[in-house]
Amino acid sequence: MRNPLSETIVKIPPSGIRKFFDIVSEMKDAISLGVGEPDFDTPWHIREEGIYSLERGRTFYTSNAGLKELKREIGHYQKRKYGVMYDYTDEIMVTVGGSEAIDIALRAMINPGRGEEVLIPQPSYVSYVPCTILAGGVPVVIELEAKDEFRLTPEKLLEKLTPNTKILVLPFPNNPTGAIMEKEDLEAIAEIIMEKDLFVISDEIYGELTYKGRHTTIASIPGMRERTVLINGFSKAFAMTGWRLGYACAPEPILTQMLKIHQFAIMCAPTTSQYAGIEALKNSDEDVEKMREAYDQRRRYLMHAFREMGLECFEPYGAFYTFPSIKRFGMTSDEFATRLLQEEKVAVVPGTAFGDCGEGYLRISYAYSLDSLKEALGRIERFIKRLDSDEHCTV
Amino acid sequence: MREKILAVIEKNSRIDLKDLAILLGESEAAVANEIAEMEKEHIICGYHTLINWDNTSEEKVQALIEVKVTPQRGMGFDKIAERIYQYSEVDSVFLMSGGYDFTVMIEGKTMRQVALFVSEKLSTLDSVLSTATHFVLKKYKDHGTVIAEPAQDERMPISL
C-alpha cells in the first residue's frame, strides 16, 4: 500500500503539552494553572439566548458569512470599542473561533510553494506556524525578549525582513506572555509595515482583557486598515470558548477569498452560537468589565506573590497569563514544570510549548479563583524554597 | 477605591486585609483606613455569614409578610417601620412600592411561632390594616450566592 499521508502534515510535530496533560489527568488533588480559557461561565443572558434559539427551532445553516444581525453587531462593536469601521455586508465574516480565522486568512493570502514568508513573533499561540506551513508559506520566527516586555520592536521586525516577507502575524495581547502592544508600539512598526508593503494578521482575541488603558487595534492606525486582517472572537471576552465563535474583519478583496475557503470547508459557524453572539455583543459590557476587573485583581495578586517568593517576572498587561522566568534555577522549562508537577502537584505550561524562545519561562494562568491561586502559589513557593536550599547545600 | 473595596467584600467579607490590598493594588493602610471610614459612615453596616440552615440540624422557619398600613398624623412610614423592626423576630423590613407597604422578613423556630407573632404582635399594631404571610419553603439563591452544591471546575486541566 502506498503511504496515504501528506508529508507536510506528518512533519509537523503535535503540540507539546500532551505529556503534561496525561500526567495531570491521572493525578488526584493536582492543581492546574495551565488552563487557557476563562474560569467564568458564559453569562446567563447569553446562554439563555442560545437556548431560546434552539427552542424556536433555529437549527438550520446560516449564510456562509454568518447572520446579518450578528455581522452588523460586530461592526458596531468594533467601531464602538476600537474605533474601526467595517462594512458588515462584505468586510466581516463569522468563523468557528478565532482559530479558523487565522487558518483561512493565511490560506487566502499565501501562494503555496513560492517561498512567501510569514513573520511570527514568539512566544505565541501554537497554531500560527503549522497553519502557515499547511498554507504553503514559510514561517519565520521573531524571537521576542523579556527586556522588551515581549513586545515587537521595530528592530526585531527589521532583523527578520527579507524580500520574500509578505505577512506579519501580530498576536497581542499575547498568549502566553501577557504582553500588549500600546498605540506607540503599533505606530512604530506600522511605518515599517507600510514601507515594506507587508500585510498583517492581527489576532486580537484577548483585546478586551487589557489592564493598562484600552486595547488599540493596529487597524485603527492610518494606512493600516487596508493591509490588515483583524481577528477577534467571543471565547475570552465573553467566556464562550466552547461555543466556537469568532470573526474576521478585512478589506473586501481579502475577505471575499477567505469566505470562499470557509464556504467550502465549514459552511457556517454554529447557528446557536451565532444567536448567542448577538446577545453577547449587545448587552454584555457590564459582564465583561466585571470579569476584566476580577482578572486584573488576580494578576496583581500573582505578581505580588512572585515578587515575594523571588520569581522574576515582567509585568504583563494583557490576557490572563503571567510568564515568569525560571532561568536562575538552572533547569529547562520542561524539567521545572515536570518536577513542580511531580513534587507539588501543580501543573503549569513550559514556555517552550509556545516556541523555542520560551525556554527558561513558564506560562502561569490566572483564570482561577483566588482560593485556587493561593493554594497553588503556596505550593510553588515551597518548591522554590526547596530548590534554593538544595542549591545552598551543593555549593 | 471605595467601590472596588465594596465589590470584593460584599462577596467575601472575610478576606485578609493584606490580600485585599494586593488585589486592589493599594497599600494596606489605605484600605484599612477606607474601610474604617465606611464603617463610621455606616456604608458598611455589618459582616454577616450566609448560612444554609437546611444542612444543619437546627430547625428554622422563615416567612415573608406583606403588610398594609395606614400612616397617621405624626406617624409616617418610618415610625411604623420602627415599631415593627424593633422586634427581635424581625429579620428585615423594607418599604415597598406597589400593592402593599412593607415587606417584613421573620425568622422563627416553628410555623406556629411565626404565625403567633403575626397575629398577636404585628396585626394588632394600630396602623396595620392587613398582613399576608408567605412561608419560605426552599432557598435556591441568596445574597447572589447559589445555595446548591458548589460548581466543579470542568475545564480540561491544560489547554493552550
Would you state the pLDDT for residue A392?
Answer: 64
Class for the domain spanning A7-42+286-384: alpha beta
pLDDT at A339 over 90: yes
> Strands of A362-365's sheet, edge to edge?
A321-322, A362-365, A349-350
pLDDT tens digits, one per residue of A76-105: 999 999 999 999 999 999 999 999 999 999
Q: Which helix (H) or strand (E) holds A201?
A: strand A199-203
Chain-chain contact of A301 with B157 (C-beta, under 8 angstroms) = no
Residue A352 CB neighbour total at 10 angstroms: 20
Main-chain dihedrals φ then ψ at residue A84, nearest 5 degrees: -115, 145
For chain A, what's the residue count? 395
Q: At what angle do helices B17-24 and B28-40 cross, to 10 degrees?
A: 110
Between residues A123 and A395, which one has the greater pLDDT? A123
* Contact yes or no for A384/A310 (Cβ under 8 A): yes
**Bridge partners, A37 (sequence order):** none
Q: Identify the residue among A300, A345, A366 best suited for mutation to test binding to B, counting B beta carbons within 10 A and taking the highest.
A: A300
User: CA nearest B25 in A: which residue?
Assistant: A300
Q: What is the mean pLDDT of chain B?
A: 93
Q: Identify the residue among A297, A303, A363, A369 best suited for mutation to test binding to B, counting B beta carbons within 10 A and taking the highest.
A: A297
Please confirm whether the linkage preceding A121 is cis (ω < 30° from 0).
no
Range B2-40 classified under CATH 1.10.10: yes
Angle at CA of residue A356, ends A353 and A358, nearest 5°: 65
Task: State how far the Cα of A44 lies from the Cα of B141, in Å rounded to an integer.
Answer: 15
pLDDT tens digits, one per residue of A149-160: 999 999 999 999
Chain A residues within 8 A of B157 when measuring between CB atoms: 21, 24-25, 30, 32, 34-35, 347
Grid coordinates given for A366: 490566572
Mean pLDDT of A282-307: 97
* Contact yes or no for B64/B105 (Cβ under 8 A): yes
Q: Which helix (H) or strand (E) holds A92?
A: strand A92-95
pLDDT at A28 over 90: no
User: CA nearest A32 in B: which residue?
Assistant: B157
User: CA nearest B154 in A: which residue?
Assistant: A39
pLDDT at A144 over 80: yes
Task: State how far the Cα of A311 lies from the Cα of A328, in Å rounded to an integer.
Answer: 9
pLDDT at A19 over 90: no
Task: With CA atoms as reference, report the closest residue to A303 among A319, A284, A324, A331.
Answer: A324
Q: What is the mean pLDDT of chain A?
A: 96
A&B contacts, CB < 8 Å: 55
pLDDT at A394 over 60: no
Please report, rounded to a whole number, the percentage of residues in chain A having pLDDT higher than 90: 94
Chain-chain contact of B158 with A37 (C-beta, under 8 angstroms) = no
Q: What is the CATH number of domain A44-283?
A: 3.40.640.10
Residues 23-62, chain B, touching A (beta carbon < 8 A): 23-25
* Whole-angstrom Cα Rg for chain A: 21
pLDDT tens digits, one per residue of B56-77: 999 999 999 999 999 877 778 9
Chain-chain contact of B160 with A30 (C-beta, under 8 angstroms) = no
Helices within A43-165 (DSSP H only): 44-55, 68-82, 97-109, 128-134, 154-160
Task: State how far the Cα of A144 lies from the Cα of A168, in Å rounded to an integer.
Answer: 14
pLDDT at B136 over 60: yes
* Contact yes or no for A97/A273 (Cβ under 8 A): no
Q: What is the pTM of this model?
A: 0.93
Chain-chain contact of B159 with A125 (C-beta, under 8 angstroms) = no
* Contact yes or no for B117/B109 (Cβ under 8 A): no
Domain boundaries in chain A? 7-42+286-384, 44-283
Angle at CA of residue A30, ends A28 and A33, nearest 5°: 150
**Bridge partners, A138 (sequence order):** A117
Chain-chain contact of B158 with A34 (C-beta, under 8 angstroms) = yes
What is the value of ipTM here, to two decimals? 0.87
Task: State how far the Cα of A73 lies from the Cα of A215, in Å rounded to an integer.
Answer: 19
Domain boundaries in chain B? 2-40, 55-137
Residue owning grid cell 477605591: B1
A301 part of contact set with chain B, CB < 8 Å: yes
What's the fold here for domain B55-137?
A: Alpha-Beta Plaits (3.30.70)
Would you state the pLDDT for residue A123?
Answer: 98
Q: Identify the residue among A17, A24, A35, A102 best suited for mutation to test binding to B, counting B beta carbons within 10 A and taking the highest.
A: A35
* Contact yes or no for A244/A270 (Cβ under 8 A): yes
Would you state the pLDDT for residue B82?
Answer: 94
Q: How far apart are the first and last CA of chain B?
A: 35
Mean pLDDT of B2-11: 95
Would you state the pLDDT for residue A222?
Answer: 97
Of the candidates B4, B8, B160, which has its C-beta nearest A36's C-beta?
B160
Chain-chain contact of B160 with A20 (C-beta, under 8 angstroms) = no
* Contact yes or no for A318/A174 (Cβ under 8 A): yes
pLDDT at B36 over 80: yes
> Which of A19-23, A190-194, A366-370 bottoms out in mean pLDDT, i.e. has the lowest?
A19-23
* Contact yes or no for B103/B93 (Cβ under 8 A): yes
Write the DSSP assignment of A220-286 as a string of letters.
GSTT-GGGEEEEEESTTTTT-GGG--EEEE--HHHHHHHHHHHHHHTSSS-HHHHHHHHHHHHH-HH
Beta strands B102-108 and A362-365 are unpaired
pLDDT tens digits, one per residue of B79-126: 999 999 999 999 999 999 999 999 999 999 999 999 999 999 999 998
Chain-chain contact of B160 with A126 (C-beta, under 8 angstroms) = yes
Write the DSSP assignment of A118-130 as a string of letters.
EEEEES--TTHHH
B156 part of contact set with chain A, CB < 8 Å: yes
Residues 9-48, chain A, touching B (beta carbon < 8 A): 15, 17, 20-21, 24-25, 30, 32, 34-37, 39, 41
**Bridge partners, A321 (sequence order):** A365
Chain-chain contact of B156 with A293 (C-beta, under 8 angstroms) = no
Cα–Cα distances (Å) from A131 to A16, A128, A136, in that order, read: 16, 5, 9
Task: With CA atoms as reference, report the closest residue to A304 among A360, A349, A370, A348.
Answer: A370
Grid coordinates given for A128: 500560527
Would you state the pLDDT for residue B71?
Answer: 83
Of the candidates B4, B151, B157, which has its C-beta nearest A347's C-beta?
B157
B150 part of contact set with chain A, CB < 8 Å: no
